[in-house]
Amino acid sequence: MYALLAFVLAAIAFILAKTIIDGWDEVVATYRNIDYRYLALSFLLGQLNVVTLLLLWWGLLKWVAQGGGLSLGAATRVFASAWLGRYLPGRLWTAAGKVYLGRERGADLKHLSISVFFELTLSITAQAAVALVLIILFFDGFIFGSRSEIVVAGLVVLAIMVAIHPAIFRPIVNRAMTALGRQPVRREDVLSYPAILVFFALYSLQILIMGFCLLAFARALGPLDGDTALFVLASFVVANFVGRIAFIAPAGIGFREGALTALLQFKLTLALASLITVLSRVWLVLIDLSFVAVVFLAAQLGARR
């Protein structure tokens, strides 16, 4: 399985590199200067995105533990350590790391497991919802969509709101848990519907922060008009979702890049789309590493004091 994954990733990397090299003249002609203002904005939004994910998980843990769990400082260190696990095959190392490291710091195993469970389900559900809505509104060139598109987008959101109601959500989850040979989720361990809606909305906001982070990065490389910018925003969100559900690939590497290049080429040249795809991946890695480095540095300085 891992040999096949390595082959797929190598093939995608080769195709992207060859496309960029073959179309380098187009790249040079279009992207002459980097706009460092947008680059700085992208970096700040990227850090805000990771911090938002940290606070949402901590908030879930606090909610489940009824105010207990971990302090913000301890949760930050646990989150930063587990965050590096997203670059390992399997995509569940981050969740497992939060449970293992959080338990070492004194948090209850049950509360940690439930918080991570809802983090995964609500974040993926929110990402799917935002991706679907952006596809409906922006993929055909409309800035805010026609009346029918807005109605369809509203119906999609309404359907998802119904689907995540505990009365519907819990039986679906339990069927999946039973199929996987795991213990079903008990009624008392499910968040209330108002809490689910609040966290769903916050995760949707987090998805948009991430999308605007990458849009600002693309804008730093060159100009984008209004329609194109909205299409690029939607493309980033959809491609990130594709990478998210590709569980076997570390951080969705390869699958996200393939989806993003395929989408961006509808508005940009293939060479430019490939360049943005490759550089945005490098940019995301730098954002992740800088966040983890700052957390560990702050922990070291605090320990010395």
Res 68: pLDDT: 81
Dihedral angle of Cα 288, 292, 293, 299, to the nearest 10 degrees = 170
The type of residue at 172 is I
Report the C-alpha gap between 140 and 128 in whole angstroms. 19
What are the pLDDT digits (tens) for 143-156? Answer: 445 567 677 777 87
Percent of the chain, pLDDT > 90? 26
| Residues whose CB falls within 8 Å of the CB of residue 34, separated by 6 or more in sequence, listed in order | 220, 221
Q: Which of 87-91, 201-205, 241-245 has the highest mean pLDDT?
A: 201-205
What are the pLDDT digits (tens) for 16-29? Answer: 555 555 555 555 55
Q: Name the residue among 207, 236, 204 with its Cα closest to residue 219.
A: 236
CA angle centred on 237, ends 92 and 52, rounded to 5° = 60
Q: Name the residue among 120, 121, 113, 122 with its Cα closest to residue 197.
A: 122
State whether residue 180 is helix, strand or coil: coil
Least confident span in 29-33, 48-52, 282-286, 288-292: 29-33
What are the pLDDT digits (tens) for 265-274? Answer: 888 887 788 8
The type of residue at 16 is L
Whether residue 60 is predicted with pLDDT greater than 50 in this model: the reply is yes
What are the pLDDT digits (tens) for 103-138? Answer: 988 888 888 888 888 898 899 889 989 998 888 877
Relative orientation angle of helices 147-163 and 166-179, to the nearest 10 degrees: 70
Q: Name the residue among 92, 123, 285 with its Cα closest to residue 201.
A: 123
Whether residue 240 is predicted with pLDDT greater than 70 in this model: the reply is yes
Return the half-sphere exposure (C-beta side, CA atoms, 13 A cut-off) of residue 256.
Answer: 22
Q: Which of 139-148, 190-199, 204-213, 288-297 has the highest mean pLDDT?
A: 204-213
Check residues 80 and 88 and name the one with the higher pLDDT: 80
**Which tokens go with 163?**
């689907």
Report the C-alpha gap between 305 and 301 in whole angstroms. 6
* Whole-number average pLDDT of the chain: 81
Least confident span in 176-180, 194-198, 291-295, 298-302: 176-180
Distances (CA, A) of 152 to 131, 140, 209, 235: 13, 14, 23, 19
Which H or E element spans position 178?
helix 166-179
Res 106: pLDDT: 86
What are the pLDDT digits (tens) for 69-82? Answer: 889 999 999 999 89
**Which tokens go with 212?**
């605007």
Supply the DSSP string of 114-176, one letter for each residue.
HHHHHHHHHHHHHHHHHHHHHHHHHTTS-SS--HHHHHHHHHHHHHHHHHTSHHHHHHHHHHH
